[in-house]
Amino acid sequence: MISEKLKKRIRIIKNFPKKGILFQDITSITDDKKLFIEVINEIVKYAKKNKITKIAGIEARGFIFGSAAAVQLKIPFIPIRKKNKLPGRVFSQKYKLEYGYDEIQVHQGSVLKKDKILIVDDLIATGGTAIASAKLIKKLKPLNISFFFIINLQNLNGLNKLKKDYGVQTLLNTNG
């Protein structure tokens, strides 16, 4: 089962980036060719089942998994980026962090009303960035939004916040 493979393979780095954090290092997935392919195949399977028309990836680790799945599905990839990283006309969404505020952006016109969007990221913690991403994509008025995370840090409760309004899939539930 993929969750067991992930549990064995993901490197945990204690007290990074600050004391008390158990950092889940996803490069231990991308370093393992077979496991990386398995993870991408799981995203692809979920996307096919839900008739996803475009994949959006949250900067930066969502780009790794989301773009690989989009290529395999032969569908467009939409980058959700930090403020001032995209050229041209964008929609923006501010959100609160434990230490202040941040802002993400997406290109205007990247989503159509008929689109079913899958937002991909490596993990969900408190849910702040994921919720902001959903609000951002909603501004483009897609038909549907769902999420795929490799890791759910269940002790931080972000997944439960999303489940109320969106379809959500994860591969590994752990604490962080």
Q: Which of 129, 58, 119 is nearest to 98 (CA)?
A: 129
Distance CA 172, CA 165 (A): 21
CA angle 134, 123, 91 (to 5 degrees): 25
111: tokens are 């989503």
Residue 59 known to be catalytic: no
Q: Which of 108, 101, 99, 54 is nearest to 82 (CA)?
A: 101
Residue 103 known to be catalytic: no
Q: Which of helix, strand or coil describes residue 170?
A: strand
CA 132 to chain centre: 12
Among candidate residues 61, 81, 89, 103, the one labeled active-site is 61
Residue 142 preceded by cis peptide, ω within 30: no
CA angle 38, 147, 151 (to 5 degrees): 55
Among candidate residues 9, 11, 98, 103, the one labeled active-site is 98
Q: Which residues are catalytic?
A: 61, 98
